A and B are shown apart, each in its own frame.
Chain A
Amino acid sequence: MTLPETVYPQGREMAKAVAGRHRRGTAFKFAFLAALMLAVVALLTLLLKVIDSSFGYVALENEVQPRELVADLGYGEDVDLVDLSKTELVALLQQTISNNVGRRLERDQRFFDDRLVFESEAKYAELCAGAEPVSGCSATARDQPGVYQLVVERVVQPTILRTWTLFESLLSRNEVKALAAAEFPQAELVFRSWLSGRFLVSPQAPDPAVAGVRTAVLGSLWIVAITLLFSFPVGVGAAIYLEEYASDNRLNRLIQTNINNLAGVPSIIYGMLGLAIFVRALEVFSSGALFGVGEGTTANGRTIIAAGLTLGLLILPIIIINSQEAIRAVPRSLRQAGLALGATKWQTTRSHVLPNALPGILTGTILAVARALGETAPLVVVGASTFITTDPGGPFAKFTALPIQIYQWTSRPQDEFRNIAAAAILVLLVMLLTLNATAVILRNRYARRI
């Protein structure tokens, strides 16, 4: 039976119909393009705003000029304050600050490991032997950037009178100069990169002019390390069991469903869980008292290990699901080939399934870690310190993390805090981008191999 010719449009009618179909397609294409443009514009705006706040002119007034301090020590124009050695910087401090302040600083954190500057050895030893030893007893001594920061903070004493954004600084440079000359005649107009090397290596400080992200970055890295150490083996192990060994019965399906659901639970709930279990119930463990380590100020469970384990629980379901998928993606033919040679299930899994699933597992793990890096709410609940200046000494130390630091700085009123918050955001973005890029490179490299 042949279809009659007139069932389809012919000739000119056909041409019109086809043109209409093309037009509709083009309309959709532009709609999708518009969606893409919207997303791009939104992201670019975010990025530009952050960059805008990270660089710009600053009207700065120093109590003591760094140049003078350097000249006093006999150096020439080529040496800056930041180039001085720790010993020289400590000497500068000694000249300026009172002994009381010096003693307080030294009790928080010593300047040298081998000698005391402001305190007598006997008194210090007495303090350390007491019931509640000061933090300086167990912490490592301050390093050069830390001491430099102190010198700037307490000797140079810069006051930031006004900051300008990058675009203002670049585009309306003359107006800025005029304004500064008019309103702040005493002050110096300096172009400042809030995001600088110094910013990265300086510890946290109350003064935004000198504060840095080192404390927060190290805190984040410590937490993420513990997160990884916990969730990777546990997650991958669970995934292997679920995919290779678990039989398809009601119980296992229930477990699977629950794991899938847990991946979607809001992160603050994990924070509450972490608070209840790791901080409170397991305080003995997480404070380090169990091991005889720890700050000793109060048997306090709000430590890095508690935060790390909490985030570990958070990303555990994600790692399990992702690893399961990676394992499932290994073709069945590979398993059959292995088993048909008389290998046991574990031998086949170990030699063929896991190596082939590994790229997928690693990619997913890296992405999960990137997520953990950016988590704020659970860390707040678990008890990130809002203000610590010492680097974390170990897993049982008090902690802060980069997102927490950003959150804290953005909630302060002064303009300068916005600048360093923006700089810190850039640091966080770079860390996340690096992790994501690593994941993508890994994935591409292994995809090409197979």
Chain B
Amino acid sequence: MTFPRRHFHEELKTIEQELVLMAGMAERAVGRAVDALFRNDITLAGEVVAEDQLIDDKYLLIHEKWLETMALQTPVAIDLRLMSSVLHLLVTLERMGDQATNIAKIVKSIEAHTREPRILEHLREMGDLVQPMVRTAMEAFVQRDLALALRVPEMDEPVNRLNRSMTTEVARCAPDQEVLEWAVPMLMVSRALERVGDQAVDIAEQVAFLLTGEFQEFTRPDTEPYDH
């Protein structure tokens, strides 16, 4: 049985699929940037920077399709909310790719002669935490699973904790000038990873809006003294 707006709904599906691909690219970029950092792999870092172009291209492609669909199909109700959340996700994922690039650029710029293993561990842990967050949020989006989406803000808790403790860790490197020189940019890496976590939460918020029609800021446990 053909539905009256099959063409339109297939267009929506295409946009979703492209978005999922883009999310995969962004998530992988974050992972590879952290890998590059851990292994001090300059080449890998260079690849991450170069591949950001692909993410940007994807962004343009999806945005174009988005505009076209809005103009031609005048979506309403759930379709409208889907388009709204797609736009949010689009911007969020593009920024996520930028965060991965930031990390990779830091890897390329520093002389990693003396590295503090504890800091590296923290960063590794953070990387291992945020990647599943992104995956879960996107899974919730694709499956339209509200319960799944609601898990993501909880997963953000440890990431924030690790980020907060980073300042102390870096301060501890103070006596050794060389290590400190390396450690300070690590603060920025930590911040970038914490941002990715927040972006995953944003995605989950959009999923909730899509499904309920209500927009709710997900409460973040332990609000920071400074804003993100």
Chains A and B touch each other in the complex, with CB atoms below 8 Å apart:
no
- Chain A contacts to B: CB under 8 angstroms: none
- Chain B contacts to A: CB under 8 angstroms: none
